[in-house]
Structure 1
Amino acid sequence: MTVKTGIRLAVCLCALIGLGSCAGSDGLSRADANNLDRIESRLSAHIAVLASDEFEGRRPGSEGERKTLRYLADVWQAAGLQSATNDPAHPWFAPVELSLMTPQSQSVRIMRDGQSITIPETQVKLFTSGSRALVDDAPMVFVGKLGASLDRAELAGRIAVMIWDHNDRNDQRDALLENGAAGVLAIISDEAAFAELVHIRKNGAYRLAEESAGSVLDGVMSLDGAASMLGLARLNALLDTAKMPGFRPHPLDETASLEARSIPGTVRTHNLIAKLPGKKPDSGAVLLLAHWDHFGRCGDEATGDQICNGAVDNASGLSMLTEIAEQLGKGPRLDRDVYFLGTTAEEWGLLGARAFTRDPPIPLDTVVAAFNLDAVGIAKRGSPVAIVGEGLTPLDDEVKLIAAQMGRGLGNSQFAKQFVKRQDGWALLQADVPTLMVSSAFASPDPLRDYTKDRYHKPSDEMDEIELGGAAEDMLLHLELVRHFGSTASHPPVRP
């Protein structure tokens, strides 16, 4: 279906899902609002199950995983989807084997001018991707927020001390290690953020089992710990200097001897893969995905609430994925197959999405368009949408036209750009799959900033705080996107 520019959302609602009447007036009529209310209610019902305490925070390899995947598979099958693993031994659930490294012990010794500096053990925590990592008497260098721009000569054999409080922190840490740093210490200025990260990482970190990460050493240090190491005045001076244009790494007077040990383990988890068969499967496929995992029990025992339910992140995305499956299952078959992918271990480095690209059920070059659904339960009704991944695929013009036809404005593209590498779509983009995240949740800084500050990766990310107005409208947009790219008439096959 193609709707003309300027036609009200009411027409889209009725044509797409057949919910109620389409009486005309400018703006949303009462019937239109009721239809959106019904969509919100259906999304909410799925989230209430997936983000319940019974599902234990959906940690990979846990009982919560089993309940999550069984619930999704049952609903998807009832909607008319078929298993798409192409593996009779593992219908619906594609195995993904992970290595788990759980911190065991650490040793920290900082020296300046031959004198040992005491840093409370609670203020610095070390981690290693292997069983043991050791750095002895290494010089330290303060790099601020610099990472990829630094070369090996500036980092080799040194402990890089970085600032954690910015959006590209994970990429910065990885770049520092890849460019030769012997280890990385990240200064976290917010005490609560420091405690939260330490609590999450003490439960271990995953990687794909077939990958050998060596014994990489990294750690986090509180602001008080950094002040103990450097002195408060020098620390503040360094933090101020890092904000200045042209800042370059600053060698420190301190040297560090650091050791971290971990206990290795193996976790067997799964991606969930299904499809709605199309009439012309040889014409390619459309892919929709959302990660099902969260952190399990990651709250502090002292607070009483230990379960990180992940209502927004990402029970909300799963609910939209499931509702789209149910709505498409009721309608006529599209030309192309539509694949539905629930990924594991997104929170630990997009691992499920990466595993999917390494062993896909179909050739990846047959996917004409993919759309990731993540953390959609933030924006209010009437919000614009952002295209996360804009400029990286040939899909932009078609997506923008469809959004405009449905009365959806475009949000802050520069703000949305910073999330490209922080979601599963990035793993697919690296495998040359044209993937976007089209979402009202990433169109404006304010709602996302409030969510990140108060609930992101915390036990407070629960059902009673979710906002589904924008998600309901986004679901309608994705139905139209899937129908557009699923049709060989509106999106013809690319001819060699």
Structure 2
Amino acid sequence: MRSSIAAVAAVLALSSPLVAQAAPTKAAAAKKGVEPSLDTMKRLVKELSSDAFEGRAPGTSGEEKTLALLAAEFGKLGLKPGNKGSWFQDVPLVEINAKNVSHLSFSGGKAAVTAAYGPEMVVGTYRTTQPHIEVKNSPVVFVGYGINAPEKGWNDYAGLDVKGKTVIILVNDPDYETQGLTGPFNGRAMTYYGRWTYKFEEAARQGAAAAIIVHDTVPAAYGWNVVQSSWTGAQHVADSANGNADQAQAIGWIQKDKAAALFASAGLDLDQQMAAAKRKGFKAVPLTGVVASVSFDNDLRKHSSKNVVALLPGKTRPDEYVLYSAHWDHLGHCQAAPDGDDICNGAVDNATGTAALVALAEANVKAGPTDRSQVFLAVTGEESGLLGSAYYGAHPVFPFRQTVGGVNMDALSVAGLAKNVVVIGKGKSQLDAYLDRALAGQGRVATLEPTPEKGFYYRSDHFSFAKHGLPMLYFEGGEDLVKGGTAAGMAAAEDYTKNRYHGPKDEYDPNWDWSGVLADLKLYYTVGRDLATSADWPNWVEGDEFRAIRDKDRTGQ
């Protein structure tokens, strides 16, 4: 999930009218008097985030309990198992537990530099058949932002052979500090080239033995505590026929101050090199004489995690589908809090979204079937890199050419009712008009992302479906709270990011203000029901990166 809701002052400054789009049909968006149940939300969030579910990590007893609960809830409502008579879609994964992790050491410079696993660096691997990883005396090269984008005339690896070497990489895009939305990489708005997942993918394509990203809180959009809790403990990666042997042996992150010490040992200034990397034509810089070493053992376990697929059949066009998605997984056992609590319960992230799937299904059953079928998809492995949604995207149970579009829910705001919602990727698709209509009924507004440099569009499951051309709507409650205004909203967001996000204190709190959750849930219900009742096929706007994929899928040309 994204780490926080963004500052409202910036939201209001960036807000603008919705892009002109095809208006939704005037079919009734919802049956009068039916709305999602807050009692259902409270009950399920409390249960899913209890210690009994152990943080809902894939491949654990927490997964088993989560799957059983969701299947039972959907079954009680009268929904149908969505995958050929089964509630589940297998997602082949490998669980990797690193142990005996050495320091990440750099030698050969003016002074030796070592980084300790956990507080100063994290390291792991995508390789699923190697019980031992050792990178020894690997030459170190700084490759700037680690981007190879031919269409932009940008290649940080130009003229460089990094086979067997360790590459040091910066997070985000070179122009993330730009105030506007124009630049070689869309200015402030992060592109996929800025995501850490891309950095590792490109380093592997270049043949690097190890790829290490320099953590910097502002461009990363989260503190080191998030990196440490997310990258220590059991990791889950997608399985493949070659055991991911084409990936780098070791991937990870290093604290910025340690990276500065590393550069100093090679006679370089990190800040100067970071500034140089922002300019087109940057040439990679070898850290002359410096070599890197790290080793660790892996406990490997192949298993199939599962997506949950529930179907509410349509009454007149059952072979057309509307998709609701949310991820059921969280981190399981993680870095312990000072009080010894080591269960990352994931109450907000994403027991709220998971419970919302059930609450929306319940409301739609009460309202009666729509013309189109409705699919309620709870995916696994989001916290490990959108693994469950990526698998569904590659192996859709219901073909995307027959899927109208949908909504994704990732961490509903429990800070209270806000006057606005922040649309992630606003202006990209005609689904914005559906949301605009629903918001008008609440007297609320949709606003742009105030911090597009944080790349939230690429950090939740809707992205896995968008890549295959499916229009998906994803929004979050804003910070301009009815009670307390922007100051209260910003304080709540900061508190969550600092003290609870991806940590053991993301726990159910009976004192939460559920008014925002309920209002946002009504929006999802209205948008989804309007889609399921209409005959429209909303698309991406002209010129959007996913428009051609959707057009080809719908026309077969």
For Structure 1 versus Structure 2, the TM-score category normalised by the shorter chain is 0.7 to 0.9
3-state SS of paired residue (2:447): coil
1:354–1:13 Cα change, 3 Å? closer
Deviation of 1:281 after TM superposition, in Å, equals 3.3
Question: Aligned partners of 1:139 and 1:238: how far apart in 2?
Answer: 18
Which of 252, 262, 271 is matched with 1:239 structurally?
271
The letter of the residue matching 1:64 is G
1:122-141 matches, cutoff 5 A: 122=117, 123-130=120-127, 131=130, 132-141=132-141
Question: Aligned partners of 2:273 and 2:156: how far apart in 1?
Answer: 20
Question: Aligned partners of 1:324 and 1:17: how far apart in 2?
Answer: 14
Which of 167, 170, 183 is matched with 1:160 structurally?
167
Contact 2:336 2:343 in 1 (8 A): no
- The residue that corresponds to 1:170 in the other structure is 196
Deviation of 1:105 after TM superposition, in Å, equals 4.1
Alignment partner of 1:210 is 2:240: yes
Which of 114, 117, 120 is matched with 1:119 structurally?
114
Which of 209, 214, 227 is matched with 1:187 structurally?
214
The letter of the residue matching 1:470 is G
Contact 1:343 1:352 in 2 (8 A): yes
The letter of the residue matching 1:150 is N
- The residue that corresponds to 2:25 in the other structure is none
1:423–1:466 Cα change, 3 Å? farther
1:269-418 matches, cutoff 5 A: 269-282=305-318, 284-300=320-336, 303-415=339-451, 418=455
TM-score in terms of structure 1 length: 0.81
Contact 1:311 1:466 in 2 (8 A): no
Contact 1:97 1:208 in 2 (8 A): yes
Contact 2:424 2:474 in 1 (8 A): yes
Deviation of 1:55 after TM superposition, in Å, equals 1.1
Alignment partner of 1:225 is 2:221: no
- The residue that corresponds to 2:47 in the other structure is 49
Deviation of 1:65 after TM superposition, in Å, equals 1.1
Structure 2 portions without partners, runs of 5+: 1-27, 149-153, 177-189, 481-485, 540-550
CA RMSD of aligned residues (A): 3.5
1:124–1:154 Cα change, 3 Å? farther
3-state SS of paired residue (1:206): strand
- The residue that corresponds to 2:501 in the other structure is 456
3-state SS of paired residue (1:370): strand
Alignment partner of 1:471 is 2:503: no
Which of 432, 442, 453 is matched with 2:469 structurally?
432
1:112–1:396 Cα change, 3 Å? same
1:14–1:338 Cα change, 3 Å? closer
Contact 1:95 1:268 in 2 (8 A): yes
1:449–1:422 Cα change, 3 Å? farther
The letter of the residue matching 2:271 is L
* Per-residue deviation, residues 171-230 of structure 1 (Å, max 9, x unmatched): 45335414524422223367x954653454332322222364224221322345335433
Alignment partner of 1:63 is 2:61: yes
1:146–1:305 Cα change, 3 Å? same
3-state SS of paired residue (1:152): coil
1:240–1:80 Cα change, 3 Å? farther
* Per-residue deviation, residues 374-416 of structure 1 (Å, max 9, x unmatched): 0113453133123323344343333333333442301233536
* Per-residue deviation, residues 253-306 of structure 1 (Å, max 9, x unmatched): 352233434332212211110011111234511010110000111132753111
3-state SS of paired residue (2:158): helix
Contact 2:418 2:478 in 1 (8 A): no
The letter of the residue matching 1:257 is A
Question: Aligned partners of 2:81 and 2:388: how far apart in 1?
Answer: 17
Question: Aligned partners of 1:296 and 1:288: how far apart in 2?
Answer: 24
* Per-residue deviation, residues 110-142 of structure 1 (Å, max 9, x unmatched): 2335x6614154434432222255545443233
Which of 300, 317, 335 is matched with 1:264 structurally?
300
User: Number of matched residues?
Assistant: 461
Farther-moved stretch of structure 1 (47-56 vs 213-222): 213-222
Contact 2:435 2:523 in 1 (8 A): no
Farther-moved stretch of structure 1 (398-407 vs 374-383): 398-407
Deviation of 1:457 after TM superposition, in Å, equals 0.4
1:449–1:155 Cα change, 3 Å? farther
Deviation of 1:350 after TM superposition, in Å, equals 0.8
3-state SS of paired residue (1:129): coil
The letter of the residue matching 2:166 is I
Question: Aligned partners of 1:474 and 1:125: how far apart in 2?
Answer: 36
- The residue that corresponds to 1:24 in the other structure is none
Question: Aligned partners of 1:414 and 1:210: how far apart in 2?
Answer: 38
Contact 1:126 1:260 in 2 (8 A): no
Deviation of 1:484 after TM superposition, in Å, equals 0.9
* Per-residue deviation, residues 240-261 of structure 1 (Å, max 9, x unmatched): 6525752734443352233434
Contact 1:335 1:487 in 2 (8 A): yes
- The residue that corresponds to 1:75 in the other structure is 73
* Per-residue deviation, residues 51-90 of structure 1 (Å, max 9, x unmatched): 111111101111111111212222222222111111x4xx
1:335–1:427 Cα change, 3 Å? same
Which of the pair has the greater relative contact order for Cα pairs under 8 Å at 6+ separation? 2
Question: Aligned partners of 1:373 and 1:189: how far apart in 2?
Answer: 28
TM-score in terms of structure 2 length: 0.73
1:303–1:225 Cα change, 3 Å? farther
Contact 1:135 1:259 in 2 (8 A): yes
3-state SS of paired residue (1:486): helix
- The residue that corresponds to 2:184 in the other structure is none
The letter of the residue matching 1:160 is V
Percent of matched pairs sharing the same residue: 27
Question: Aligned partners of 1:421 and 1:102: how far apart in 2?
Answer: 26
3-state SS of paired residue (2:302): strand
Question: Aligned partners of 2:538 and 2:137: how far apart in 1?
Answer: 62
1:341–1:155 Cα change, 3 Å? farther
The letter of the residue matching 1:210 is S
Deviation of 1:92 after TM superposition, in Å, equals 0.9
Question: Aligned partners of 1:377 and 1:478: how far apart in 2?
Answer: 14
Contact 1:294 1:309 in 2 (8 A): yes
1:154–1:221 Cα change, 3 Å? farther
- The residue that corresponds to 2:22 in the other structure is none
- The residue that corresponds to 2:106 in the other structure is 110
